[in-house]
Amino acid sequence: MRSSEHRRQSLRHGRTALVAAAILLSFAARAQDLGVIGPVYPIAEPSLLEVILSKLREAEATGVLARLQRDTQTNVKRGIEQPSPVARITKTTKARSFYYDPSIVVPYAITDADGKVIVAPGTKVNPLDTVSLSKTLLFIDARDAAQVGRARNIIDERGGKLKVILTGGSYLDLMRRWKRPVFFDQQGQLTDKLGIRHVPALVSQEGKRLRIDEIL
């Protein structure tokens, strides 16, 4: 009896072990391949061009784009009609005269089309040797009515043989009023090169140099 009961218990333990093994194998199989549990989407970034176009369309719809265009046109027109005044240039309070020598020293050899040296390095060259200043230059700040009036008198005194260059104010306004060309010293390039610090200032040629007179 005991032997028979022992065999039945062994069979029950064996079946339990088989069931446990089957369950473990089932879990292992599921762990290897869980399958698709939801929709899968590709990872993608929005096109930069599409983002820009979207922003532009939004700006156009809300009127922002039109306002920016108007502001840009206004700023460009203002910059053309009345450029930024030259910094550090003030009104003359004490007359003074000085000279500017435009000579330069050539740092390297200048050759012609055949390679022949026509100017040796170290040569001092003065452009006034070949080109003369055709007209006296008059620098003024057109924001000052007194300077504008003085410039008009000097033009008349010299029979119009004068080139007016502004350091401030609207050159287009003066051109319309005077019916003659008026220029602007963009970014102060001329006044800086010539050493002009105060206006009105006259620039004329004297021999191989330029004479600058800051006048009252």
Overall domain count for the chain:
2
Tell whether 68 and 162 lie within a shared domain: no
Q: pLDDT higher for 176 or 82?
A: 176
Tell whether 138 and 163 lie within a shared domain: yes
Read off the pLDDT of each residue in 39-59 and give the average, rounded to a whole number.
72
Read off the pLDDT of each residue in 18-37 and give the average, rounded to a whole number.
48
pLDDT single digits (tens) 169-205: 999 999 999 999 999 999 999 999 999 999 999 999 9
Does residue 151 lie in a domain region? yes
Q: What per-residue confidence (pLDDT) applies to 24?
A: 46
Tell whether 96 and 177 lie within a shared domain: yes
Tell whether 190 and 95 lie within a shared domain: yes
Tell whether 60 and 147 lie within a shared domain: no
pTM of the predicted structure, to 2 decimals: 0.64
Does residue 123 lie in a domain region? no
Read off the pLDDT of each residue in 25-41 and give the average, rounded to a whole number.
50
Tell whether 68 and 95 lie within a shared domain: no
Out of 17-31, 89-103, 117-131, 135-149, which region has the weakest mean confidence (pLDDT)? Answer: 17-31
Q: pLDDT higher for 205 or 40?
A: 205
- Concatenated DSSP letters for the chain? -HHHHHHHHHHHHHHHHHHHHHHHHHHHHHHH-----S---------HHHHHHHHHHHHHHHTHHHHHHHHHHHHHHHHHHSPPPPTT-EE-SS-EEEEE---EE--S-EE-TTS-EEE-TT-EE-GGGT----SEEEEEETTSHHHHHHHHHHHHHTTT-EEEEEEES-HHHHHHHHSS--EE-GGGHHHHHHT--EESEEEEEETTEEEEEE--
Instruction: Look up the domain containing 62 and give its range.
Output: 49-81
State yes or no: pLDDT of 88 exceeds 60.
Answer: yes
